[in-house]
Amino acid sequence: MNNGEAGYRDFLNGDKEGLSDVLNEYREGLILWLAGFCGSVDTAEDILIEVLVKLIVKKPVFRGGSSFKTWLYTISGNVAKNYMRDHKMPATLPIESAEKAAISDEDMLKSHFRAENAVIVHKGLYRINPEYARVLYLSYFEDFSNGEIAKIMHKTNRQVENLLYRAKKSLRAELEKEGFKYEE
């Protein structure tokens, strides 16, 4: 498959299974990305449903100005921001809510990241600035380039570089507070 693009084009051409192919390929990563906005897998799943509704009803056209994955994550991020605004959800979560969300996500995180250290790092992401967490997630867990992240987050490349620098510094400080040991 062409990173979901072929499935989406099939959907636009009338193949109902095309969107299922896209969902199967990107569901888990999108839920984790969206959970970065709201701090809850349950709410992230609700937002993903709204993303799918947007794709089904409005049928936005993928023009190829970026990778399909970048385009899909950009749309998802925009829907998440609208959802947060419409449901009057805070942009940042109290630390108790973030810790609770991290604990409830543990099973999905273990299956997605496979390594125990990655789970610890992902939990640490819930305790730092949400924008820092999102930029780190896109960079390290989804392997987006800085240019793709800039498109998804509506930032310049320089802003992404600065965000990544501050995010790494913040995450490192958070993990060190928790006693995380770095491998040499």
pTM: 0.71
Give me 145's structure tokens. Answer: 């380039």
Which one-letter DSSP state was computed for residue 179?
Answer: T
Quick: pLDDT tens for 14-67.
Answer: 998 889 989 999 999 999 889 888 888 899 999 999 999 999 999 999 998 899
* Residue-range domains of the chain with CATH: 5-175 (1.20.140.160)
Kindly tell me the burial class for residue 154, based on how many C-beta atoms sit within 10 Å of its own C-beta (0-12, 13-18, 19 or more).
exposed
Neighbouring residues of 6: CB distance < 8 A, sequence distance ≥ 6 = 18, 21
- Note the pLDDT of residue 121: 72
Mark 12-28 as b/e (b = at least 16 C-beta within 10 Å).
Answer: eeeeeebbebbbebbee
